[in-house]
Amino acid sequence: MKITVVGTGYVGLVSGACLAEVGNDVLCLDVNPEKIRILKEGGIPIHEPGLDQVVARNIAAGRLHFTTDIEEAVRFGTVQFIAVGTPPDEDGSADLQYVLAAARNIGRLMTDYKVVIDKSTVPVGTADKVRAAIADELARRGVEVPYSVVSNPEFLKEGAAVEDFMRPDRIVVGADDEQAINLMRALYAPFQRNHEKLVIMDVRSAELTKYAANAMLATRISFMNELAVLAEKLGADIEQVRQGIGSDPRIGWHFLYAGCGYGGSCFPKDVQALIRTAADAGQGLKVLQAVEDANDAQKMVLVEKVVARFGEDLTGRRFAMWGLAFKPNTDDMREAPSRVIAAELFRRGATITAYDPVAMPETRRIFPDEPRLSYADRPMAALKDADALLIVTEWKEFRSPDFNAIKAALRSPVVFDGRNMYDPALPREAGLEYAGIGRK
């Protein structure tokens, strides 16, 4: 099948590469010539485990191509995925200008039947706007060309996106006509050989499903974070509570870890967009607003612990920070708790030496020429002359450190664990002051 993917960001590049992996002929379009140059030369503009091998393998096989030529891209695929960014507007709503620009380009240049698939995370009603944009361009040309518009939201986890695409737990398809549904079944047949994974629904329900899924996961995180704060006040241990409630099959184990807040490109943006969608429909989402408020507060919890230990004025204090990305296995710094924590420590006069396996280049871009921020080439090197260690991202290489070496390296034997990576007894046995999130 010939497939065009508009956008070579996180969703577009993973989708295009994985569709090529199962034998499709895929052309990825991006208007950024530098990004296309990097991809054609074998580079990957994002960090995603395993993606570089999939891209390289399919370029070599002649199944994956890249272009900046819009006309070529529209002409190429019967299937046209729209996978462009939908950044939040000032009011929190999703900005659809890139989605609708892609739709207008398709309508302006198409000459035969197309299935236009919204892969980007978009508000309910976007498919109607895409359909109208294409119809408007066709009307301007004075031609009638058949097309279908489908909602096919992605459910990829950063750090495991290739695996998620190749072995999905469900494939949500919102479509109104049988021809488009049949094409989607054929498109995704290679990904569901074991059992049926397609969930067919109407377009608006598919659009809402994506937001509802991310909002539910964000709700679980914020609930556990608020419960962790309460556990500390009550003398309880949130890790023991997690095990107690996670063993209930009605609740399950996923997304029950307390920490220093969620971030990334999805949860914050999608929670805000859903709140805005509800407001536009005349309904308030009180629970979801509380989820966002709780997350904003949680990003300050580590700083509050630092202040409680070292005082309001942190001038002259240096802190080591392990982890910068919003989660492991990615270099994504969007809405990362580390950004909020660093900014507040800087405001209070502190300096930071940071280490992250992959996110330091992106951090340098976000904090250019920041004299109070330096970087280490390995975790232990970040501890030199530091008053305390802050753990902000739960990378695997932080899981089993030498606590005696940490104590010896720090000026003050203090560890603030924002991801509850350790049994508190272990660092304490080494003589470290240890403060987790919601731990005894």
So what's the pLDDT on residue 291?
98
What integer is the mean pLDDT of 21-26?
A: 98
**Measured distance CA(376)–CA(395) in Å, rounded:** 16
**Strand bridging mode 114-118 / 79-82:** parallel
State residue 268's pLDDT score: 94
Per-residue pLDDT, 194: 84
Q: How confident is the model at residue 129 (pLDDT cuts 50, 70, 90)?
A: very high
Write the CA distances from 337 to 198, 250, 329, 358, integer angstroms.
Answer: 35, 30, 16, 16
* The predicted structure's pLDDT at residue 106: 98
CB of 6 closer than 8 Å to CB of 29: yes
Average pLDDT in the 256-275 region? Answer: 94
Question: How many Å is the maximal CA-CA distance in the chain?
Answer: 78
Residue 7, CB half-sphere, CA atoms under 13 Å: how many? Answer: 23
**pLDDT value for 330:** 94
Query: Strand, helix or coil at 440?
Result: coil
pLDDT per residue over 352-361, tens digit each? Answer: 999 999 999 9
Q: For residue range 327-336, list pLDDT tens digits in order.
A: 999 999 999 9
Please check whether residue 90 is in contact with residue 84, taking contact to mean a CB–CB distance below 8 angstroms: no
Residue 160: what are its φ and ψ, rounded to 5°? -145, 30
How far is Cα 116 from Cα 409, in angstroms, rounded to an integer?
57
Mean pLDDT estimate for the chain: 96
Residue range 378-406, pLDDT digits in tens: 999 999 999 999 999 999 999 999 999 99
State residue 131's pLDDT score.
97
**Predicted pLDDT at 195:** 86
Q: For residue 91, is pLDDT > 80? A: no
* Residue positions annotated with a catalytic role: 266
Helix intervals (H) in 281-366:
286-298, 301-310, 337-347, 360-366
Q: Are 163 and 133 in contact (CB under 8 A)?
A: no
**pLDDT band for position 440 (cuts 50, 70, 90):** confident
Task: Please give the average per-residue pLDDT across 370-381, as a whole number.
Answer: 97
> What pLDDT score does 86 carry?
86
Mode of pairing for the β-strands spanning 373-375 and 147-151: unpaired
420's torsion region: left (phi>0), alpha (psi -120 to 50) or beta? left
To the nearest whole percent, how much of the chain has pLDDT over 90? 93
Q: What is the pLDDT of residue 92?
A: 74
The set of residues, in sequence order, having a beta carbon less than 8 Å from that of 212 and lying 6+ positions away, is 274
State residue 55 phi and psi, 5-degree precision. Answer: -65, -50
pLDDT tier at 89, thresholds 50, 70, 90: confident
Q: What is the pLDDT of residue 213?
A: 96
Query: At residue 297, does pLDDT exceed 90?
Result: yes
Please report how many Cα atoms fall inside a 13 Å half-sphere around the Cα of residue 80, on the Cβ side.
28
pLDDT at 87 over 90: no
User: Phi and psi for 134 in degrees, rounded to 5?
Assistant: -65, -45
- Checking if the pLDDT of 90 tops 80, the result is no
Average pLDDT estimate for 237-250: 97
Q: Provide the pairing of β-strand 64-67 with 171-174.
A: unpaired
